[in-house]
A and B are shown apart, each in its own frame.
Chain A
Amino acid sequence: MKKKALAIAAAACAAAMLLSGCGSSSNNNASAESNIITVNGCEPAKPLVPSNTVETCGGDPISEMFSNLVRFDDKGNAQNEVAESITANDDMTQYTIKLKDWKFSDGTTVKAENFTKAWSWAANAKNAQLGSSFFNVIKGYDDLQKSGLKGDEQLSGLKVVDDKTFTVDLNEPSSTFPILVGYAAFAPLADSFFKDPKAFGNKPVTNGPYTFQSWDHNQFIKLLKNKDYKGTATVNNDGLTFKVYTDTEAAYKDVQAGNLDAMDTVAQSAIKTFKTDSSVQAVESAGSVLQYFIFPADMQYFAQGDKAGLLRRQAISMAVNRQQIIDKIGNGTNTPAVDFTAPVIPGYSDSLKGNEYLKYNKEKAKAAWDEANKISPIPSDYVFKISYNADGGGKDTYDAIANSIKNTLGINAEATPIPTFSEFNNTIEKRQIKNAFRQAWQPDYPSPDSYLKSLYSSGAADGNGSNNGDYKNAKFDSLLSQAASAKTTDEANKYFQQAEEQLLADMPSVPLWYANAKGVAAKGVKNFKMNWQNVPIYEELSKK
C-alpha cells in the first residue's frame, strides 16, 4: 500500500510536468557546404517594423533587410542607395529626393509614396512608434502628436511630386538631413504594410540586401540573400541567421566550439584572452561609441556656472587614469577620449583647445581640487559617487574609475550600481540622480551633430532629449545652428569643433574613452570586419 502510493504520487507529479515536455532532438549545426552565416543576436523587443525598432536586437536584422535613401559604408559615409539624388534648396529647409528603380521583395516597385506614407505613419503618435521622434525635423510633425488622430494622417512637410520624386519641408535648416535619412526608422514600407501592419511585423516585406525567411522566437531570425539587390552593400554569403543569446559568455563559448560563426562583442571573461585565443579569430578597430560620465548641471559642489564647481569637474576628469584603466580592466581594447565625438566621425580632432583636461594628471588634478576648496570648502566626509547600471557589465570599470579618483585626489569615491538599465534610465529621466552618472553614446548617424546636438544642446535638455545633465550654453547652441546651416561639410565641422572647445571649457561631462569595436569569429570565416557603428559588416562575411 505504502509503496504503491509512493509510486503513484511520484508518477503523477512527474506526469504533470511531462505533458508538454517531449520534443524531438535535432542538431542545428549549419552545414558546411551552404554559405549561411550564423551570428549572435537577441530577441527583438518589438515586431520587425523599422520605425518601431530602437534597439540592436531588432535593429541589426532590420538594417540588413531594408535599404533607405542612403546607406552608410563601413567608414560611415552616406552613399545614395534607393535615392538617385538628394538636393537641398538654398537655405537648407527643403530637400528634393529622386528615387532609383528599386523593388520590394514582394515584387512591387519602391515609389515616392512608400517613403512619405511610411514616414508619416511612423511620426503619427496614434501608431505608437518608438522611433517617432526622429521625424520631428519634418514640418507637420507637431500636428501628428495631438490626441484624436486616426493614424493615417500625413506629415504636411512631405509632398509626392511623381512616382519617383518627393519633397521634404523641414522645421529649421539642416545640413545633416541627408545623413539622418540613413537611420533605420526612415526605411520605405511596401503597400502591404498599411493593410496589415501586425502581419508585416512578423513577416516583413523588405527591399535591402536580404529578404526575410523566418523568425523562430527566442531562437533564430533567418534572412536570405536578396538576389535582386543592386545597392552599395557587397553581399558575400547566401544568408544570415541571428541566433538568440541572453548572455555573451555563452555566445563566446559557442564561437570557440565552432557553433557560431561570428559575434559582435567579446565576453567579459575573454577580454584578456580573445586576441591570443587560437580557437577564434579576433577583430579590433577604433569605434564610434563614446563612454563618458555626466555631472548634473545643478550637482552640489560641482554646479555649472560656479568657479569651484568647474575646478572640481576638471579635477575629477584629470584624476581618471584612462589609459591604465583601459590597459588593466579592458586589456587595452579601448582608446582614451580626447574629444566629445569619436575618431571615426568626420570632423574629429585630437588637438582641440582644452583637451588637456581629458588627460590624467595627478598634480594638476590635486591642485585644481585644492583650489576649489579654497573658494568654497567641501566637507571632509564628502563621498564622490558615480552611478551606473549593474546589468551592463560596467562594474569593473566603474569600480576602477572610483578607485582612480579616490587614490589621485585622496577623497572618498565610490561607484554605486543601479540594478537595471531600465531603472537607471528612469531615475535619470526623473532627474533623481544627484551625483555623477555613467553614459554611453552610439551615434545614429556619422556626424558630430549626432553627439553634440543630442547630448548637450539646450533643446535636448529638461527631458526633451538626451541632454541628461541639463547643460545649457547659448554660445554652444548658436555654434551648432551655424554648423547646421553651413554650406560645406568642412565649414560645418569647423563650427562643430568650436562647439566642442566650448564643452571642454565648461566640462559638463567627462569623456572617458572610445569603445573599440571588438568581436570574434570562428576559424574559417572570411572578411570579418567592423563598421563605424561597432557592428560587424554581416553581409561581407563568408565561409568560402
Chain B
Amino acid sequence: MGRYLLRRILQVIPVVLGTTLLIYALVFALPGDPVTAMFGGKPVNQAVAAQIRAEYNLDKPFIVQWLIFLKNSLTFDFGNTFAGQPVIDVVGRAFPVTIKLGLMAFVFEGIFGVIFGIISGLNKGKWYDTVILVLSLLLISVPTFVTGFVMQYFFGVKWHILPVTVSANPGFLDLLMPAMVLGSVSMASIIRLSRTEITSNIAEDYVRTARAKGMSNSSVTVRHILRNSLIPVVTYLGADLGALMGGAMISERIFNIQGVGNTLYQAILRGEGTLVVSIVTIMVLIFVVCSLFVDLLYAVLDPRIRYA
C-alpha cells in the first residue's frame, strides 16, 4: 500500500504537467487576439500592441510560453494578469468563496441525496418513492440555469426569503441558494444511486442470512443494507467534489459570485493563458488528491480489488 501511495503521488507530476500543457495548447488555439481585444474596438496602435505582446510573452510559440510558465512557477511567480494584478492574488481571491460554495453544495447533496435515496430505496414502489424519483429526474432534466433563475425569482425577488445575489464576504445564508442550485443535479444522481444500491442489496444473500439469524429489522437495515449501499455513494461524492468547483460557473453567474467559475470564464473570454492555467492547475491538484482517496477507498472497501 505504501509503495502504491508513493507511486500515485509521483504520478501527480505528469498529470499536472499534462494538464498545464493541454490548457496552454487549448488557450493558444483559441481564435481571437487577446491584445487586439484589449483596445475594445478602438483603433489599435500596433507599436503599443507589440509592447504588450512582448510583456506577456504572447509573441512566442505556445510551447515556449508553457516552459516560461513552468520555470517561473517553480519560484511561485505566476506572473501578472492583463489587468496588471499578480495572478496569485486573483486566484487567492477567487478560490475561498468557490470552495465554500462547493463544500456547501457537497454537504447539501450528500445529506439530502442520501436521506431521500434511503427513504425511496427502502420503500420501493410506494407512492412517495415514485414522487421522489420523478422529482429527482426532473432536476436532472431541467437545465441548471432554468432551476437557478426560477429559484432566484421566487425565493429572492418575490418572497424575499433568501438574498438575491451574493455579497462580498458571503455568509451561510448568502450561499444557501447558489449551493442548492449547484448541488441539485448531483443530489438527484445520489438519490438514484443510493436507491438502486439499496434495492439491489436488500436481495443479497447476506441480508437474508442476517434476517435468518434473527437480527432485528432495523439493525439489518442499518448495519448491512445501508452500510454496503453507501460505498458507491461515497465514491461518487469523492469524485464530485472537484466537479462541483468546475460546475460552479453557472451558479456563480446567476448569483453574481466572484469565484473560480466566473474568473475562469472571464479569463477564457479574454484569452488569458496564464490565469486559466493557474486556476485549472489548482483545480487539478484538488481533484487528483480526491481521486487518489477514491482509489484507495476502492481497495479498502472491496478486498477483491488489489493494488500492487
Contact = CB atoms under 8 A, between A and B. Distances in A.
- Contact between chain A and chain B defined by CB under 8 Å: yes
Interface of A: 1-3, 5-6, 9-10, 12-14, 16-28, 43-47, 54-55, 125-133, 145-147, 198, 201, 216-220, 244-247, 249-251, 253-254, 256-257, 259, 391, 420-423, 425-427, 429, 454, 460, 463-466
A26 to B, nearest CB: 5
Interface of B: prevailing SS: helix
A5 B295 CA distance: 12
B31 A423 contact: yes
A22 B95 CA distance: 11
A6 B297 contact: yes
Contacts of A125: 45, 47-48, 51
Interface string B18-47: 000000000000111110111111111101
A402 B163 CA distance: 40
Given A6-B234, A25-B169, A247-B254, A131 B42 contact: yes
B96 A253 contact: no
Nearest to B168: A219
Given A218-B93, A421-B37, A132 B45 contact: yes
A25 B171 contact: yes
B269 interface: yes
B106 A25 contact: no
Contacts of B92: 20
Contacts of A429: 33, 36, 44
Contacts of A220: 168
Given A22-B96, A133-B44, 15 more contacts: A3-B227, A6-B234, A6-B300, A6-B301, A13-B289, A26-B168, A43-B266, A126-B51, A130-B42, A246-B262, A253-B165, A254-B256, A422-B271, A423-B31, A427-B32
Contact of B263 (A201, A218, A425): A218
A250 B43 contact: no
B48 A130 contact: yes
B96 A21 contact: yes
Contacts of A420: 32, 269
Contact of B84 (A24, A198, A425): A198
Given A128-B55, A145-B45, A201 B84 contact: yes
B43 A23 contact: no
Contact of B164 (A28, A147, A247, A253): A253
Interface stretch (B115-123, B127-135, B152-160, B183-191): B152-160
Contact of A13 (B89, B167, B227, B293): B293
A40 to B, nearest CB: 10
Contacts of A43: 83, 266
A44 B266 CA distance: 12
Contacts of B42: 54, 130-131, 133, 466
Instruction: Sort chain B's interface into a size bin.
Output: 35 or more
B99 A18 contact: yes
Contacts of B94: 218
Contacts of A249: 149, 254
A257 B172 contact: no
B165 A254 contact: yes
Nearest to A125: B47
Given A16-B286, A23-B100, A246-B253, A133 B89 contact: no
A245 to B, nearest CB: 5
B52 A128 contact: yes
Contacts of B286: 16-17
B103 interface: yes
A37 B151 CA distance: 28
Interface in B43-69: 43-45, 47-48, 51-52, 55
A253 B238 contact: no
A250 B32 contact: no
Query: Which 5 pairs from chain A and chain B are nearest by CB?
Result: A25-B171, A422-B37, A125-B47, A423-B32, A250-B256
A460 B47 CA distance: 17
Contacts of A127: 51
B32 A12 contact: no
Contact of A128 (B30, B37, B48): B48
6 contacts: A20-B99, A23-B170, A25-B174, A45-B83, A46-B38, A422-B33
B241 to A, nearest CB: 6
Q: Which of A25, A133, A422, A426 has the most CB of B within 10 A?
A: A422
B171 A54 contact: no
Contacts of B141: none
B90 interface: yes
Contacts of A427: 31-32
A422 B103 contact: no
Contact of A257 (B38, B100, B160, B262): B160
B279 interface: no
